Amino acid sequence: MASTSGTPGTTGPAALPRASVRLRRRLLGGVTALSALALTACGGGAFGTGDGRTTITYWLWDANQQPAYQQCAEDFENSQSEYRIDVQQHGWEDYWTQLALGFVSDSAPDVFTNHLSKYPEYVTRDLLMPLDDLVERDHLPLDIYEEGLTELWTGEDGARYGLPKDWDAVGLFYNEDMLREAGLDPAQLQNLTWNPEDGGTYEDVIARLTVDENGVRGDEPGFDKHHVRTYGLWMQGAGGDGFGQAQWSMYAVSNGFQYTDTNPWGTHFNFDQPAFQETMTWWQHLIEEGYSPAFAVQDGQQSADQMAAGNAAMAMDGSWMTGTFTGIEGIRVGIAPTPIGPSGERASMSNSLADSIFAGTDHPEGAWEWVKYLASPACQRVVGEYHVVFPAITEAWHVAQQKFAEEGIDVSPFTDQVEQGTTFRFPITEHAGEISALLIPAFEAVMSGAPVDSLDEVNEEINGLFEED
């Protein structure tokens, strides 16, 4: 077990002070232009209730997952009489801003869903409560989770800052009827190959599924790339805010790309590598050929909505979107794995979320009891029953897999990648906010036609952040 501050056997957070002056100063240094109105509008914090229970606030960003966690909250409340849980959902676009405001104004939630790209920065600002002493005190088993997930939430300092709640993978969603109309069999999508030179059989399928306004396909003479009715592959965003998880990560890594020198805690990024820039050049090529929408066309448009409207035949997206795609009314949607790249293997970025405790919580023991319950088989089985995502506990994600199967949905394109070891972890580094601020405009520019080698400069700027440490 990783060592942590404090003496083993103590109550851990009960002995921890609330947010310190140093903590607030660090926060104020990282968040600027905060208005008084915004500060007072941010919810959070724990408070008493009329029945004598203490309320623990819990934030998450996915509305699709809220019902499952609301059920967990009710079950938790029924299991004891000391705490009540206030589940609050904030959309992804507002979530992190609201959380930052809450940290500064001392009104952050007691417990919140955390992301691998965010927590290193929170650790350096003393915003998260270490959990090691509590895990040891309560003899919490860590071997019930999918292999490798618990290690992701151990910081560079050796302390644990979250308990895993789920995992994800990326796959190819497709309109089955459009596939058959194009003369293609779903079985053909199970072993597609890709390379940055000609796109392989993967690009052949994308071209075949692309149809212009006159009904001409992308692989037929007379195809008009300037007036496309249905794109073979819909792209959603440029990927700068999530390291291209559902946009380009699977292609680049299967071409031999490595994000950082080490992962986790890398200090040198490689967006100047030929393996990466070849991938981005191919991605630009799909847009130039009219097989995928230009960034100005697709920016802000959800892939599932575009498939529902008939504007997209296929879309690469995350396993968390399975219910949204397969729930499109009047369209039969299938799922295929990511294509096999030049490395000879397919690849899928796999992220894992966790529940973390705000270091400034008024009720650390109650927050811990809730986090412990969230990470328990009881709650994660409930999450599996709702089958929006794959829970972190192996037994529970098998429940989700079975629930999907009962609805006729084959999720093996996701689960096979985990079981076959073809997933790779989300880059975990410090300076997440600064890196994102550099990457978002850089990738949007490339997807709008800027030279791919313009990424050399932004890569140098990112690496300069670590040289300043």
Please give the chain's pLDDT, 469 residues, in tens. Answer: 232 222 223 223 333 333 333 343 344 344 333 333 233 333 344 445 567 899 999 999 999 999 999 999 999 999 999 999 999 999 988 999 999 999 999 899 999 999 998 999 999 999 999 999 999 999 999 999 999 999 999 999 999 999 999 999 999 999 999 999 999 999 999 999 999 999 999 999 999 999 999 999 999 999 999 999 999 999 989 999 889 999 999 999 999 999 999 999 999 999 999 999 999 999 999 999 999 999 999 878 899 999 999 999 999 999 999 999 999 999 999 999 999 999 999 999 999 999 999 999 999 999 999 999 999 999 999 999 999 999 999 999 999 999 999 999 999 999 999 999 999 999 999 998 899 999 999 999 999 999 999 999 999 999 999 997 7
Q: Is 30 exposed, middle or buried (0-12, 13-18, 19+ CB in 10 A)?
A: middle
Q: Which CATH code fits 170-350+427-467?
A: 3.40.190.10
Q: How far apart are CA 469 and CA 465, in angstroms?
A: 7
Q: How far apart are CA 189 and CA 441, in angstroms?
A: 33
Q: How far apart are CA 406 and CA 401, in angstroms?
A: 9
Contact 420, 255 (CB under 8 A): no
* Long-range residue pairs from 397-401, CB within 8 A, at least 24 positions apart, any chain: 397/146, 397/166, 397/167
Helix (H), strand (E), coil (C) string for the chain: CCCCCCCCCCCHHHHCCCCCHHHHHHHHHHCCCCCHHHHHHCCCCCEECCCCCEEEEEEECCCCCHHHHHHHHHHHHHHCCCEEEEEEECCHHHHHHHHHHHHHHCCCCCEEEECCCCHHHHHHCCCECCCHHHHHHCCCCCCCECCCHHHHCECCCCCECCEECEECCEEEEEEHHHHHHCCCCHHHHHHCECCCCCCHHHHHHHHHHCEECCCCECCCCCCCCCCEEEECCECCCCCCCCCCCCCCHHHHHHCCCCCECCCCCCCCECCCCHHHHHHHHHHHHHHHCCCCCCHHHHCCCCHHHHHHCCCECEEEEEHHHHHHHHCCCCCCEEEECCCECCCCCCCEEECCCEEEEECCCCCHHHHHHHHHHHCCHHHHHHHHHHCCCEECEHHHHHHHHHHHHHCCCCCHHHHHHHHHCCEEECCCCCCHHHHHHHHHHHHHHHCCCCCHHHHHHHHHHHHHHHHCC
Contact 201, 184 (CB under 8 A): no
**Domain spans of the chain, in order of start:** 12-167+353-392, 170-350+427-467
pLDDT given at position 468: 79
Residues 6+ apart with CB under 8 A from 408: none
Q: How far apart are CA 292 and CA 462, in angstroms?
A: 29
pLDDT given at position 14: 31
Q: How far apart are CA 299 and CA 136, in angstroms?
A: 47
Amino acid letter, 168: D
CA angle 364, 367, 373 (to 5 degrees): 140
pLDDT given at position 106: 86
Structure tokens at 245: 């998880």
pLDDT given at position 32: 33
Q: Is 467 exposed, middle or buried (0-12, 13-18, 19+ CB in 10 A)?
A: exposed
- Nearest-CA neighbor of 108 among 58, 74, 63? 58
Sign of the Cα torsion 138, 382, 72, 62 reads: positive
pLDDT given at position 469: 72
Residues 6+ apart with CB under 8 A from 178: 209, 230, 313
Architecture of the domain delimited by 12-167+353-392: 3-Layer(aba) Sandwich (3.40)
- 12-167+353-392 and 170-350+427-467 agree in CATH topology: yes
Q: How many residues does the chain have?
A: 469
Q: Which residues on neighbouring strands pair with residue 160, listed in sequence order?
A: 154
The 10 Å Cβ neighbour count of residue 143 is: 7
Contact 99, 130 (CB under 8 A): no
Structure tokens at 91: 């959309």
List C-alpha distances in Å: 277 to 110, 284, 323. 42, 10, 33
Q: How far apart are CA 133 and CA 404, in angstroms?
A: 38
